[in-house]
Amino acid sequence: MILVDDLHKSFTAKKVTVKAVDGVSFEARDGEITGLLGPNGAGKTTTLRMLYTLMKPESGKVLVDGIDVATDPERVRRVLGVLPDARGVYKRLTARENIAYFGELHGLDAATIAERTERLSRALNMQDFLDRRTEGFSQGQRTKTAIARALVHDPRNVILDEPTNGLDVMTTRGLREFLKQLRGEGRCVVFSSHIMQEVAALCDRIVIIARGQVVASGSADELRALTGQDNLEDAFVKAIGSEEGLHA
Amino acid sequence: MKTLRAVMTVMRKELRDIFRDRRTLVLALGLSPLLTPILIIGLGTLGESRARSQIEKPLELPVVGREHAPNLIAWLEGQNVVIKAPPKDIEAAIANQDEDVILRIGPEFAQQWRKSLPAPLEIIQDSTRQDAQIPVQRLQGLLSGYGGQTGSLRLLARGVSPGTATAIQIRRTDLATPEAQRGRMLSFILPYFLIIAAFLGGASLILDATAGERERQSLEPLLATPAARGAIVSGKIAAACMLALISLLLTLLAFKLGALLSPTVGRQMEVSFPAIARLVLILLPMVFIGTTLLTYLAASAKSMKEAQSHMTWLMLLPMLPTIVLLVNPVKTQMWQFAVPFLSQNQLILKVVRGEVITAAQWALYLVAGFGLAGLLWFAATRRYQQEQLAISG
Residue B72 lies in a domain: yes
Angle CA A229–A234–A240, to nearest 5? 110
Tell me the C-alpha distance between B244 and B257, whole Å.
20
Q: Which of A7-11, B76-80, B204-208, B374-378 has the lowest mean pLDDT?
A: B76-80
Residue A53: closest CA among chain B residues belongs to which residue?
Answer: B224
Q: Do B222 and A104 touch (CB under 8 A)?
A: no
| Contact in structure between A92 and B20 (CB atoms under 8 Å) | yes
Specify whether B304 is located in the same domain as B363.
yes
B49: burial class by Cβ within 10 Å (0-12, 13-18, 19+)? exposed
* pLDDT of B245 strictly over 80: yes
* pLDDT of A137 strictly over 90: yes
> Of the candidates A231, A114, A97, which has an alpha carbon nearest to the alpha carbon of residue B19?
A97
> What is the secondary structure of B34-84 as a DSSP string?
HHHHHHHHHHHHHHHHHHHHHHHSPEEEEEESGGG-HHHHHHHHTTTEEEE
Specify whether B215 is located in the same domain as B268.
yes
Domain with B72 in it: 58-156
Specify whether B193 is located in the same domain as B256.
yes
ipTM: 0.92
Q: Do A102 and B225 touch (CB under 8 A)?
A: yes
Tell me the C-alpha distance between A144 and A155, whole Å.
17
Tell me the C-alpha distance between A80 and A76, whole Å.
6
Specify whether B24 is located in the same domain as B62.
no
Confidence tier at A104 by pLDDT (50, 70, 90): very high
Contacts of B222 in chain A (CB under 8 A): 105
What is the model's pLDDT at position B44?
Answer: 66
Last residue of a domain, one of B156, B171, B204: B156
DSSP H helix total and E strand total for chain B: 21, 4
Q: Do A88 and B216 touch (CB under 8 A)?
A: yes
Best residue of A56, A85, A90, A93 to probe chain B, by most B CBs closer than 10 Å: A90
Residue B32 lies in a domain: yes
What is the model's pLDDT at position A49?
Answer: 94
Tell me the C-alpha distance between A57 and B150, whole Å.
96
Residue B361 lies in a domain: yes
Contacts of A83 in chain B (CB under 8 A): 221
pLDDT tens per residue across span A157-170: 999 999 998 888 99
Residue B44 lies in a domain: yes
Residue B18: closest CA among chain A residues belongs to which residue?
Answer: A92
CA distance, residue A89 to nearest chain B CA (Å): 6
Residues with Cβ < 8 Å from A2, sequence gap 6 or more? A27, A28, A34, A51, A62, A63, A64, A157, A188, A190
What is the model's pLDDT at position B171?
Answer: 73
* pLDDT of A176 strictly over 60: yes
H or E element at residue B327:
helix B320-327
What is the model's pLDDT at position B50?
Answer: 67
Q: Do B390 and A104 touch (CB under 8 A)?
A: no
Specify whether B31 is located in the same domain as B91.
no
Tell me the C-alpha distance between B52 and B170, whole Å.
26
What are the structural domains of chain A?
Answer: 1-79+156-248 (3.40.50.300), 88-154 (no CATH)
Contacts of A88 in chain B (CB under 8 A): 213, 216-219, 221
Residue B22 lies in a domain: yes
Higher-pLDDT residue of B52 and B190 is B190
Contacts of A97 in chain B (CB under 8 A): 16
B24 touches chain A (CB under 8 A): no
Specify whether B312 is located in the same domain as B250.
yes
Residue from the list B217, B387, B391 with its beta carbon closest to the beta carbon of A87: B217
Specify whether B186 is located in the same domain as B235.
yes
Residue from the list A52, A56, A93 with its beta carbon closest to the beta carbon of B224: A52
Alpha helices (runs of H) in chain A, residue ranges in sequence order? 44-51, 73-78, 95-105, 110-123, 139-150, 169-184, 196-202, 220-227, 232-240
CATH of the domain at B90: 3.40.1710.10
Specify whether B13 is located in the same domain as B128.
no
Specify whether B329 is located in the same domain as B233.
yes
Q: What type of residue is B169?
A: Q
Contacts of A91 in chain B (CB under 8 A): 216
Exposed e or buried b per residue across B337-369, where buried means at least 16 C-beta atoms within 10 angstroms of its C-beta: beebbbbbbbbbbbbbbbbebeeebeebbbebb
Q: Do A54 and B9 touch (CB under 8 A)?
A: no
| Contact in structure between A133 and A93 (CB atoms under 8 Å) | yes
pLDDT tens per residue across span B209-237: 999 998 898 999 999 999 999 999 999 99
What is the count of residue pairs from A and B with beta carbons less than 8 Å apart? 79
Based on its alpha-carbon atoms, the radius of gyration of chain B, rounded to whole angstroms, reads 30
Residue B69 lies in a domain: yes
pLDDT tens per residue across span A30-86: 999 999 998 888 899 999 999 999 999 999 999 999 999 999 999 999 999 999 988
Q: Do A105 and B6 touch (CB under 8 A)?
A: yes
Q: Which of residues 3-42 of A touch B (CB under 8 A)?
A: none
Specify whether B132 is located in the same domain as B20.
no
Residue A103: closest CA among chain B residues belongs to which residue?
Answer: B225
Last residue of a domain, one of B107, B123, B156: B156
Look at chain B and report how many structural domains it folds into.
2
Exposed e or buried b per residue across B229-249, where buried means at least 16 C-beta atoms within 10 angstroms of its C-beta: bbbbbbbbbbbbbbbbbbbbb
Specify whether B341 is located in the same domain as B385.
yes
Specify whether B262 is located in the same domain as B351.
yes
Contacts of A92 in chain B (CB under 8 A): 16-17, 20-21
Contacts of A150 in chain B (CB under 8 A): 221, 224
B385 touches chain A (CB under 8 A): no
Alpha helices (runs of H) in B108-132, residue ranges in sequence order? 109-114
Tell me the C-alpha distance between A74 and B157, whole Å.
102
* pLDDT of A205 strictly over 80: yes
Q: Calculate the average pLDDT of chain B.
A: 85
Residues with Cβ < 8 Å from B11, sequence gap 6 or more? B235, B236, B238, B239, B242
List of long-range contacts for A223-228, beta carbons under 8 Å, 24+ apart: none
| Contact in structure between A119 and A158 (CB atoms under 8 Å) | no
Residue B173 lies in a domain: no
Residue B167 lies in a domain: no
Q: What is the DSSP letter of B98?
A: S
What is the model's pLDDT at position B16?
Answer: 94
Other beta carbons within 10 angstroms of residue A224's beta carbon come to 16
Positive/negative CA dihedral, B24, B29, B33, B34:
negative
* pLDDT of B120 strictly over 50: yes
| Contact in structure between A27 and A17 (CB atoms under 8 Å) | no
Tell me the C-alpha distance between A47 and A4, whole Å.
9
> What is the secondary structure of B10-47 as a DSSP string?
HHHHHHHHHHT-HHHHIIIIIHHHHHHHHHHHHHHHHH
